[in-house]
Amino acid sequence: MATIKDVAAKAGVSTATVSRVLNGERVKQETKERVLAAIEALGYRPNLVARSLKTQKTQIIGFVVPDFGSFFMRVAEAVEEILNSYGYSLIVCNSNEDLTREIEQVQMLVERQVDGLLVVPTSSSSKHLLEAQKKGIPVVLVDRLVKGMQVDSVLVDNVNGAYQAVEHLVTMGYRRIGVINGRLEVTTGEERYRGYLRVFEDYNLPIAEELIRTGDFSSQSGYILIKELMALPHPPQAVFIANCYMTMGAMLAISELGIRVPEDLAIVAFDDMELYRIATPPLTVVVQPMEEIGKTAARLIYKRVSGDNSDFPQMYRLKPELVVRGSSVPPGRLEASSEVTVNKVAL
Amino acid sequence: MATIKDVAAKAGVSTATVSRVLNGERVKQETKERVLAAIEALGYRPNLVARSLKTQKTQIIGFVVPDFGSFFMRVAEAVEEILNSYGYSLIVCNSNEDLTREIEQVQMLVERQVDGLLVVPTSSSSKHLLEAQKKGIPVVLVDRLVKGMQVDSVLVDNVNGAYQAVEHLVTMGYRRIGVINGRLEVTTGEERYRGYLRVFEDYNLPIAEELIRTGDFSSQSGYILIKELMALPHPPQAVFIANCYMTMGAMLAISELGIRVPEDLAIVAFDDMELYRIATPPLTVVVQPMEEIGKTAARLIYKRVSGDNSDFPQMYRLKPELVVRGSSVPPGRLEASSEVTVNKVAL
DNA sequence: ATGAAAGCGCTAACAA
DNA sequence: TTGTTAGCGCTTTCAT
């Protein structure tokens, strides 16, 4: 492959001049044209690896996500778009919700000299992230927090999101409200659970321990736990499910069991997915601003890699939104179920 | 950050020796231990950018996909897993189903000196891919083909997949069968349409032109086109929808219109999604082997970057599978609708 | 078994 | 405005 030397030779100039043309520095118009012609003729493309070694900047941001599911990929899509517009590339890595793998991926990204790191931590272990910071690599936590670490973060107000969801059920008159939690050692799981509890506190309602189940965010656990709940001698009348994968599993179980929603069981879920709208009935959900999470995280890491360390550590708490659809209606007037849908179709 | 020089100094050896330890070459046990101790003490990690510049290999594979939706991400997940096990990293880029962007992404990946390229082409334009090949970068096409180009590819047998889907409807007795096609200039779109047509040919059935609609793979086009079809004076009794996003849009329209499935309209869709199983009724689909596509593509590109050019150009045609669920039942016995589900739940 | 030294392709002082 | 040159951190002959 042609190098800058070949171009220099062909254009009859030094490599420095070619470099200047490449980087848009001042070069005499005529020289510039000769260089450009040589580049064109040779089909020359700069070697970004060499450039990175020299400049000590790769223009790459690493993004470690726990899975390639729709939630994080919608975030990643927004991140990539913003970052590309700034001239950065994104490497998205899958930690598989596994700390060991997360550590490996972070280490690999550090060795690849990424300029910055976006991480959705799988646990509260922070050693590998601290190390990255120590090496001067800015880190921004996305969606989840690692406690006791000074770090930028872009999060969602999970407590109040869950609160709204459960409060919605309570104000409609439900009392036996179950919950399918995610992993409590992950902040999103813990916070959503806290939101659930807080409603009972605020409304001075008793909590039925047997209606509280803790899964691991997987659809499998949603499937199992909803079955456990519904097999109870006195099953819940409503349930709050803490993330989209568990909701998926729960809905499958529900359709297998022939449980009618919302007649037998009202549902409010955290996270929205396109298909929830075409479920029968469409699901009431707490929608997270995925695109905004991505854009905010991208802008923040860009700010840091650009050397702006003001307001460190910066924390964004984006607000989720309750969207009431057919899966939750007042226990009194179930006939109206199909009319409760209030979401605007946004294809 | 510590470099190999620092390690060498600390261990009292040359950088060459440190490099040998790093790369597992023969070094006296005692020396090795001293080097390892120095590495540990300094928290040294090799700079992969420098290594890449020297070895002319980045151990990175680029993967350009048209979107970050569940289909391609499931493929990407499998690709990453295999590639990581070979010591390679993956950069997934979004072309947004847009040729200009695809060209930019390919160019960027080439400049970043990726060792190999996986591409889901957005069109039959091949110039940028030929250029990459010319520079010695192996290219493997995934899911879609570019005609008139000598290139490795991992594809699905779309013609027979679509054929099975439509034949299933025909053998059940349906005759007025509509189709919502994807982009015909993309091979998957064209091949699935061909499969549809071939059934009518083979069964010597007349084709109703007004039941053939061509969209662009987006859920929006599915939404619009199913409405067009159902607004016909003589609407179809069954419809074949050529990909998952259009199916999503179509199902939303169907639920809005209050059309009953399969009573008013039987549906067979290309692509499976987890949520199709919890739709009412669950959807009959042609399932693509996403994981196998990813693994096959990963293994093939690995073979090429490893210098094995045997059997070039190699083409895999993986077989999709028809899974009959509740959205398609013989028009005669609709009462049985909920019993036809034959898929095994695989959570 | 180990070290010296060249060089991968580029950028950035510094000189001219 | 342009050229000369050093050097980013690593690997890899070639010597020793």
Which DSSP string do the residues of A4-72 spell out, in sequence order?
A: HHHHHHHHTS-HHHHHHHHTT----HHHHHHHHHHHHHHT----HHHHHHHHT---EEEEEES--SHHH
* Gap from A339 CA to chain B (nearest CA, Å): 12
**Residue B235 pLDDT grade (very low, low, confident, very high; cuts 50, 70, 90):** very high
What would the two tokens of residue B311 be?
């059997």
Residue nearest to nucleotide D5 (CA to C1'): A16
**Residue B333 pLDDT grade (very low, low, confident, very high; cuts 50, 70, 90):** low
Residues by CB within 7 Å of nucleic chain C, which ones?
A 1, 3-5, 15-16, 18-19, 22-23, 46-47, 50-51, 53-55; B 12-17, 20, 26-28, 30-32, 50, 53-54, 56
pLDDT digit of tens for each residue in chain A (347 aa)? 899 999 999 999 999 999 999 999 999 999 999 999 999 999 999 999 999 999 999 999 999 999 999 999 999 999 999 999 999 999 999 999 999 999 999 999 999 999 999 999 999 899 999 999 999 999 999 999 999 999 999 999 999 999 999 999 999 999 999 999 999 999 999 999 999 999 999 999 999 999 999 999 999 999 999 999 999 999 999 999 999 999 999 998 998 899 999 999 999 999 998 878 877 789 999 999 999 999 999 999 999 999 999 999 999 999 999 999 999 988 865 544 443 333 333 33
A residues 138-157 near B, CB within 8 Å?
none
Residue B278: what pLDDT? 77
Q: Looking at residues B16-29, what average pLDDT do you find?
A: 96
What would the two tokens of residue B145 be?
């083909």
Q: Which ranges in chain A are annotated with CATH 3.40.50.2300?
A: 54-156+290-318, 158-289+321-342
**How far apart, in whole angstroms, are the C-alpha atoms of residue B132 and residue B136?**
7
Q: Which residue of B has its CA nearest to A74?
A: B68
Beta bridge partners of B213: B180
Amino acid of residue A180: I
- Please report, for residues B18, B19, B29, B30, B46, the alpha-carbon distance to residue B13 in angstroms, rounded to integers and kept in the order given: 7, 11, 13, 12, 17
Higher pLDDT, A320 or B1: A320
CA nearest to B344, candidates A252, A274, A229, A230: A252
CATH class, domain A158-289+321-342, is alpha beta
Average pLDDT of every residue of chain B: 93
Provide the whole-model pTM: 0.93
Q: Convert the pLDDT of each residue in A197-247 to its tens digit.
A: 999 999 999 999 999 999 999 999 999 999 999 999 999 999 999 999 999
Check B252 against A279: CB less than 8 A apart.
no
Q: What is the DSSP string of B67-129?
A: --SHHHHHHHHHHHHHHHHTT-EEEEEE-TT-HHHHHHHHHHHHHTT-SEEEE--SSS--HHH
**B1-53 has which CATH code?**
1.10.260.40
- Inter-residue contact A53 to A100 (CB < 8 Å): no
Which residue shows structure tokens 């609609």? B213
**In the predicted model, is pLDDT for residue B1 greater than 90?**
no
Q: Which ranges in chain A are annotated with CATH 1.10.260.40?
A: 1-53
Show residues of chain A in contact with B112, CB under 8 Å. 48-49, 89
- A345 and B CB contact within 8 Å: yes
Phi and psi for A178 in degrees, rounded to 5?
A: -85, 170
- Inter-residue contact B300 to B155 (CB < 8 Å): no
CATH class, domain B54-156+290-318, is alpha beta
H helices within chain B, ranges in order? 4-11, 15-22, 29-42, 48-55, 70-85, 99-111, 127-134, 158-171, 187-202, 219-230, 244-257, 290-305
- Inter-residue contact A193 to A242 (CB < 8 Å): yes
Show residues of chain B in contact with A93, CB under 8 Å. 80, 89
